[in-house]
Chains A and B, each alone.
Chain A
Amino acid sequence: MKFVDEFRDADKAHALAARIAALCEPGRQYKLMEVCGGHTHTIYKHGLEDYLPESITLVHGPGCPVCVIPMGRVDDAMALASEPDVIMTSFGDMMRVPGSHGSFFDAKAAGTDIRMVYSPLDSLKIARNNPDKRVVFMAIGFETTAPSTAMTIMRAAAENLPNFSVFCNHVTIIPAIKAILDSPDLRLDGFIGPGHVSTVIGCRPYEFIARDYGKPVVTAGFEPLDILQSIYMLMLQLSEGRSVVENQYSRVVPWDGNVTALKVIGETMELRPYFEWRGLGFISHSALSVREKYARFDAELLFDVPGVRVADPKACQCGEVLKGVLKPWECKVFGTACTPETPIGTCMVSPEGACAAYYNYGRMNRNRVKEAVTIEVGRP
């Protein structure tokens, strides 16, 4: 298939893998973090680690929108959804995220009106068709999805829609990366930069990582060859002792980002003084709320939101996984008490979550599988 197969070409992957291996200094270990959950998903879905030498470890980062939502916010959303005459709309990813009293799916099964939408604009359609109901859109995600929420708010304002509001949980990527860089328990050699976020914010905001922390950053696309090429570009910088921001995903990511998208975010949203991230705790200026100008679309003002902070279940180590300190399988409850069908932590919920990706695609002993595949290929 055009525009897909070119980016999954096994021959090119072999060639790149050979170059990457050649750049590894003997005895040196490399830890590269892919910030974005979409990358984690691609890496596992295509078995990309098979191409990497043992000295390169990919560390999964915090860029998974539903993974970073703290339990208290899920409970807040649930409280909103159960208000009289409310229709809650949400992206599919959010449906299975557990709050203290079950997930949206559980609430839906118990009769709460929660509907899955593919775009926030679909919520407007629902609001127009149900004038006697109050429609609340559960807005989540990084700068990637914030513009579409912003557009929806602006559209609602233009139409003067009285029964639509947004429960805003949008977060920003840079403070999270900074929190990881400042975290004492992790040593990283470089970053595979988040591609989708960068289509909006561009590459410039990462420059401090290269300049102040001396770590190379390569903004990467989401096909497996994109990621492999980005790893090659990072290894090349490391081998030459350079640390700059490079853009592998230049076919989509403009260096200065998407100014129109940034403008609509700025028009409708402003930075919160602080916001709680699951596993990472409170991070200042790391999330967005609806601007006062659009207050009539801000569910946090329209409804009585409990806003109670809820601690994660004790055994859950999502925070360590999100920071890349723990591999998914190193979490105490991974795969036994916490599975995709009964997730305890958010990392096990979203297909972009590191735990879900490892459980669904990567749950295997690579050495043993390599043997099996080799035998299979040799079969007459």
Chain B
Amino acid sequence: MTEAGWVEQALREHDEHHEHHEHHEHDAPPGRGRDQVPDREQQVLDRIDRARRRRPRVREERITMSHGAGGKATATLIEAIFLDAFRNPLLEPLEDAASIPVGAARMALTTDSYVVSPLFFPGGDIGELAINGTVNDLAVSGATPLYLSAGFILEEGFPVADLARIAESMRTAAAAAGISVVTGDTKVVQRGKADGCYINTAGVGLLERDVPLGVAHARSGDAIIVSGPIGDHGVTIMLARGELDIEADVQSDTAPLNGLVAGLLDAVPGVRAMRDATRGGVATILNEIAKSADVGVLVNEDDIPVRPEVRGAAELLGIDPMYVACEGRLIAVVAGDQADQALAALRTHPLGAQASVIGHVTDGPPGIVHLKTAFGGTRIVDLLVGDPLPRIC
């Protein structure tokens, strides 16, 4: 045996699809001139597009770090394993929070786990992240965050003083976001079976506004706005690990976004969708917009705010800030004619002071994000493959 089983499998699938479509390509009317046949490169692109729309399958036999990176492997895992197992209309939109009817009201429900390493980093710690992350998932779904749960998985030997510090920072973060932690759970595992402290939080919020939000609502002409400089959190965590011998004056951007979101929704009726740009960064959100709404997305590299320190560190490490996580930034899709209004509303809030329109939704090739580079060229921005920065949140 010289080839791994999956290679053979992949090639077999490829051949099946190939033959199938080859037929179609031969079905062209005999009189059709060569000029009207799309060029060969375009045919390949079309074939790739079809391949990408196929139902995703997990080929790996075991979970790898890529499955947690928020990129393609994560999306595949969610669609192929979890969505299949739990499929229901509330889950299917795969938004940051599910919108559930409760009597006459509608609630938003979300959950998130935190495994960041190190637990304490410049600008925050795992506790603050655990509150803000869940608050933000509720906020960008259009809900007013109300109550959170907190579950702790602790490793034998973990210092109580550190746990107290984490709890204290969760208290402060909860107060800042105006929510309460109303239920919880604690488990302890043997030394070596966890890395100090993991936290899970779930949250509920009230959906009071009657605006349907979701990336599937994006349409051609909409503006895409980012609420501030990107990549601070991911770069901070990477440098905080001290493995790279790089020092920079950066700190995590972790912050509750509910105030910023409320201000935006109050001022702008034409908000179509919001997402907080966590794992996988802004690039991942842009791809979700393009894919869910089946539209093109075009962004302008020059308009994407990135702090010089973050850009410098990312350049040195060969990482694109577009893929680096934020924990206090959102991407909003807004009707094109209300973009200025939205910018003005965001900029009145300290967390949105550097908000910027970074691009637009287009009728370009659907499902694809294009970037006009600062150099003046064009390229696509795809979902991330692999994981350059594991365990950042």
Q: Which residues of A contact B (CB under 8 A)?
A: 1, 4-5, 8-10, 13-14, 44-51, 92, 95-96, 98-102, 105-106, 108-110, 118, 224-225, 310-311, 313-315, 327, 329-330, 333-342, 344, 351, 359-366, 368-370, 372-373, 375-376, 379
- Asked whether, in the complex, the Cβ of B47 is within 8 Å of the Cβ of A50, the reply is no
How far, in angstroms, from A335 to B365 measured CA to CA in the complex? 17
Residue of A nearest to B385 (CB): A340
B1, B10, B311: the one within 8 Å of A344 (CB): B10
Segment from B25-33, B65-73, B164-172, B266-274 that makes contact with A: B65-73
Residues of B contacting A362 in the complex (Cβ-Cβ under 8 angstroms): 379-380
A1-B311, A372-B370 known; A335 vs B48 contact (CB < 8 Å): yes
- Asked whether, in the complex, the Cβ of A1 is within 8 Å of the Cβ of B47, the reply is no
How far, in angstroms, from A209 to B46 measured CA to CA in the complex? 40
- Further 16 A-B residue pairs, CB within 8 A, beyond A47-B372, A341-B66: A1-B311, A44-B379, A47-B375, A48-B377, A95-B386, A106-B61, A224-B375, A224-B377, A315-B14, A327-B41, A335-B45, A341-B72, A341-B73, A362-B379, A366-B378, A373-B298
Residues of A contacting B60 in the complex (Cβ-Cβ under 8 angstroms): 106, 109
- Asked whether, in the complex, the Cβ of B14 is within 8 Å of the Cβ of A100, the reply is no
How far, in angstroms, from A101 to B65 measured CA to CA in the complex? 18
What's the nearest-Cβ distance from chain A to residue B110, in Å? 27
What's the nearest-Cβ distance from chain A to residue B309, in Å? 10
Does B183 count as interface, using CB distance less than 8 angstroms? no
Residues of B contacting A108 in the complex (Cβ-Cβ under 8 angstroms): 64
C-beta contact mask, B308-327 vs A, less than 8 Å → 1, else 0? 10011001001000000000
A105-B66, A108-B64 known; A342 vs B48 contact (CB < 8 Å): no
How far, in angstroms, from A10 to B3 measured CA to CA in the complex? 46
A108-B64, A224-B377, A373-B370 known; A337 vs B296 contact (CB < 8 Å): no
Residues of B contacting A4 in the complex (Cβ-Cβ under 8 angstroms): 311, 315
C-beta contact mask, B348-381 vs A, less than 8 Å → 1, else 0? 0000000000001011110010111111111110
Closest 7 A/B residue pairs (Cβ): A47-B377, A337-B14, A335-B48, A10-B376, A109-B62, A361-B379, A340-B385
Does B88 count as interface, using CB distance less than 8 angstroms? no
What's the nearest-Cβ distance from chain A to residue B23, in Å? 16
A341-B73, A342-B59, A379-B360 known; A51 vs B380 contact (CB < 8 Å): no
Q: Which residues B244-292 have CB closer than 8 A to chain A? A: 244
What's the nearest-Cβ distance from chain A to residue B316, in Å? 10
How far, in angstroms, from A313 to B5 measured CA to CA in the complex? 11
Does B191 count as interface, using CB distance less than 8 angstroms? no
Q: Which residues of B contact A (CB under 8 A)?
A: 1-4, 6-7, 10-11, 13-14, 17-18, 39-42, 44-45, 47-48, 51, 59-66, 72-73, 76, 243-244, 296, 298, 308, 311-312, 315, 318, 360, 362-365, 368, 370-380, 382, 385-386, 388
Residues of B contacting A106 in the complex (Cβ-Cβ under 8 angstroms): 60-62, 64
Residue of A nearest to B8 (CB): A313
A329-B44, A335-B48 known; A363 vs B380 contact (CB < 8 Å): yes
Residue of A nearest to B46 (CB): A365
What's the nearest-Cβ distance from chain B to residue A133, in Å? 17
Residue of A nearest to B244 (CB): A118
B61, B244, B364: the one within 8 Å of A372 (CB): B364
- Asked whether, in the complex, the Cβ of B44 is within 8 Å of the Cβ of A334, the reply is yes
Residues of B contacting A8 in the complex (Cβ-Cβ under 8 angstroms): 373-375
- Asked whether, in the complex, the Cβ of A333 is within 8 Å of the Cβ of B375, the reply is no
Residues of B contacting A92 in the complex (Cβ-Cβ under 8 angstroms): 388
What's the nearest-Cβ distance from chain B to residue A66, in Å? 13
- Asked whether, in the complex, the Cβ of A365 is within 8 Å of the Cβ of B65, the reply is no
How far, in angstroms, from A4 to B63 measured CA to CA in the complex? 38
- Asked whether, in the complex, the Cβ of A109 is within 8 Å of the Cβ of B64, the reply is yes
What are some 7 contacts across the A-B interface (CB < 8 A)? A5-B374, A8-B375, A47-B376, A48-B377, A110-B62, A118-B243, A310-B2
Residues of A contacting B368 in the complex (Cβ-Cβ under 8 angstroms): 364
Residues of B contacting A314 in the complex (Cβ-Cβ under 8 angstroms): 11
What's the nearest-Cβ distance from chain B to residue A355, in Å? 12
- Asked whether, in the complex, the Cβ of A333 is within 8 Å of the Cβ of B11, the reply is yes
How far, in angstroms, from A130 to B362 measured CA to CA in the complex? 55
What's the nearest-Cβ distance from chain A to residue B231, in Å? 14
Residues of B contacting A46 in the complex (Cβ-Cβ under 8 angstroms): 373, 375, 377, 379
- Asked whether, in the complex, the Cβ of A100 is within 8 Å of the Cβ of B3, the reply is yes
- Asked whether, in the complex, the Cβ of B48 is within 8 Å of the Cβ of A341, the reply is no
B3, B13, B41, B298: the one within 8 Å of A329 (CB): B41
- Asked whether, in the complex, the Cβ of A335 is within 8 Å of the Cβ of B65, the reply is no
How far, in angstroms, from A314 to B14 measured CA to CA in the complex? 13
What's the nearest-Cβ distance from chain B to residue A57, in Å? 13
What's the nearest-Cβ distance from chain B to residue A10, in Å? 4
Residues of B contacting A327 in the complex (Cβ-Cβ under 8 angstroms): 41
How far, in angstroms, from A46 to B76 measured CA to CA in the complex? 28
How far, in angstroms, from A105 to B373 measured CA to CA in the complex? 32
- Asked whether, in the complex, the Cβ of A336 is within 8 Å of the Cβ of B7, the reply is no
- Asked whether, in the complex, the Cβ of A342 is within 8 Å of the Cβ of B6, the reply is yes
Residues of B contacting A102 in the complex (Cβ-Cβ under 8 angstroms): 4, 6
A330, A336, A360, A369: the one within 8 Å of B370 (CB): A369
Residue of A nearest to B18 (CB): A336
How far, in angstroms, from A51 to B370 measured CA to CA in the complex? 17
- Asked whether, in the complex, the Cβ of A50 is within 8 Å of the Cβ of B377, the reply is yes
What's the nearest-Cβ distance from chain B to residue A185, in Å? 18
What's the nearest-Cβ distance from chain B to residue A314, in Å? 8
- Asked whether, in the complex, the Cβ of A1 is within 8 Å of the Cβ of B59, the reply is no
Residue of B nearest to A225 (CB): B375
Residues of A contacting B18 in the complex (Cβ-Cβ under 8 angstroms): 336
How far, in angstroms, from A222 to B386 measured CA to CA in the complex? 24
B59, B73, B378, B388: the one within 8 Å of A50 (CB): B378
How far, in angstroms, from A365 to B364 measured CA to CA in the complex? 11
How far, in angstroms, from A315 to B9 measured CA to CA in the complex? 12
A1-B308, A313-B11, A376-B360 known; A368 vs B365 contact (CB < 8 Å): yes
How far, in angstroms, from A4 to B298 measured CA to CA in the complex? 24
